[in-house]
Amino acid sequence: MTSPKIVNTATGSIVDVLGLQVGHFTHSQRLTGCSVVLAPQGAVGAVDVRGAAPGTRETDLLDPSNLVEKVHAVLLSGGSAFGLDAASGVMRWLDEHGIGFETGYGRVPIVPAAVLFDLPVVRPGDQAHIRPDADAGYAACQAASNKTPAAGNVGAGAGASVGKLFGLNRAMKGGIGNASVRVGPWVVGALVACNAIGDVLDPATGQVIAGARTADGQSLLDTQAALLRGERSTRPMPGTNTTIGVIATNATLNKAQAKRLAVSAHDGLARTIRPAHTTLDGDTLFALATGTETSAPDLMLLTVMAAEATALATVNAICQARGIETNLGVLPSATDWH
C-alpha cells in the first residue's frame, strides 16, 4: 500500500471552551455509539445543514427568528434515524439534574441532535440490531467531563467510514476528532464525527489521506479525480453517509451570529472532504456560544477560527481512527498506511 503523509496539527478540543463537557458512549456489542456536548449553564445555539440527506432533531428552534435562545446539550449519534432516540436519554439526564428551559411548570431540556449512517459497519460477531438508544445517550452524559475527549473509534465515530462512493469494500475507517484554536481572548473548539462519502484531505498539502481505494485495495483512488475521469460509482443510497459536528466558542453571540459561525465552519469541511455536502450526505454542524468572554466579539475572526477548528478536527478524526475487520472486509485506517 502507498503511505500518504499525514500532518496532524490538531491540538486541544471543544472543552477548551469554558462551560462545556463532552462524553462518549460506545457499544461493546456493536461498533456504534453516541457523543454528547453538555452546556449545563446553557449556550446560545445555531445550526447549518449543507448535506441533502440530514437526520436531525430540534433544529427548527435554533432558527434566529424562533423563541428559545439557549440549548443545554447537543447529541451526535450513530445508528441513522434510530440514533435520534439517544437524545431522550440526554434529556432524562439533564432533567434529573434540574437543567432546562424554564416554563413555569418545570424545566424542559433543549437537546438538538444529528445522526450519521453506520448501519453497514458490522464486525464478525456483532449484534447488528443494536443501535444507540436512550440508555446510550444517558450513559454518554454520565461519562461527560471537561477533559480532552477521546478520538477515533469512539462515540458517534465508532462505526464511521469514509470514501464510500465506490463501495464499502473499498472504503476506509472514519472516526470522531477534536481541535481548538485560540486568538486573543477567544477560543473556538470543534468536535467532528467524519462519516463522509468523499475522501479526506490534509488541507495543508491537498493530499488525500483516507478515502476510496483502488479496486485492488492497495492505494488511494482519489474519488474526485476518478469522477472527473468519467469513472462510475456504485451509486450508494442517499443519507448513508454524513459528517456531523459541534463548533463552540467562549464569545458572547446572539443566535444570528452563532448561525454565521455554523455556516463558516462548513468551510472547514469543504477544505478537508472532497466531495463534500453531497446529495448522499447529511452534513450538519451545530454552533454553541457560552458567553464566558464578554468583550465585543470579532465575528470576522471567529468565523475564520471556526473553519480552521473544523478542518483540524476532521483530520484529527481520521488520524486517530484505527482499522477494523467487518463482515464486508477490512476497513483500513490512514495510520495503517503511514
Would you list the domain boundaries of the chain? 14-337
| pLDDT above 90 for 99 | yes
Q: Pairing between strand 284-293 and 244-251?
A: parallel
Q: Pairing between strand 113-115 and 56-57?
A: antiparallel
| pLDDT above 90 for 329 | no
Pick from 111, 14, 23, 22: which is nearest to 70 by CA? 111
CB-based contacts of 300: which residues, under 8 Å, 6+ apart? none
What tens digit of pLDDT does each residue of 33-46 get? Answer: 999 999 999 999 99
Q: What are the grid coordinates assigned to 118, written together?
A: 453506520
Tell me the helix, strand and coil percentages in the chain, rounded to 5.
25, 30, 45
The pLDDT value recorded for residue 269 is: 97
pLDDT bin (cut points 50, 70, 90) of residue 304 is: very high
**Average pLDDT of the chain?**
93
CB-based contacts of 172: which residues, under 8 Å, 6+ apart? 161, 162, 163, 210, 211, 212, 213, 323, 331, 332, 333, 334
| pLDDT above 50 for 65 | yes
- Regarding predicted confidence, which is higher, 142 or 281? 142
Q: Was domain 14-337 assigned CATH 3.60.70.12?
A: yes
- The DSSP code for 7 is -
* Contact in structure between 276 and 231 (CB atoms under 8 Å): no
Separation of first and last alpha carbons in the chain: 9
Cα(3)–Cα(1) distance, integer angstroms: 6
Considering the chain, what percentage of its residues have pLDDT values greater than 90?
A: 84
The pLDDT value recorded for residue 336 is: 86
What tens digit of pLDDT does each residue of 13-27 get? Answer: 999 999 999 999 999
Q: Identify the three-state secondary structure at position 62.
A: helix
Choose the weakest-confidence range: 34-43, 52-61, 236-245, 311-320: 236-245
- 219, containing H or E segment: none
Choose the weakest-confidence range: 49-53, 160-164, 220-224: 49-53
The pLDDT value recorded for residue 233 is: 72
Q: Phi and psi for 138 in degrees, rounded to 5? A: -65, -45
Cα(332)–Cα(323) distance, integer angstroms: 4
What tens digit of pLDDT does each residue of 129-183 get? Answer: 999 999 999 999 999 999 999 999 999 999 999 999 998 889 999 999 999 999 9
Choose the weakest-confidence range: 20-29, 50-59, 303-312: 50-59
| pLDDT above 90 for 128 | no
82-108: average pLDDT: 96
CB-based contacts of 65: which residues, under 8 Å, 6+ apart? none
The pLDDT value recorded for residue 219 is: 92
What tens digit of pLDDT does each residue of 240-264 get? Answer: 789 999 999 999 999 999 999 999 9
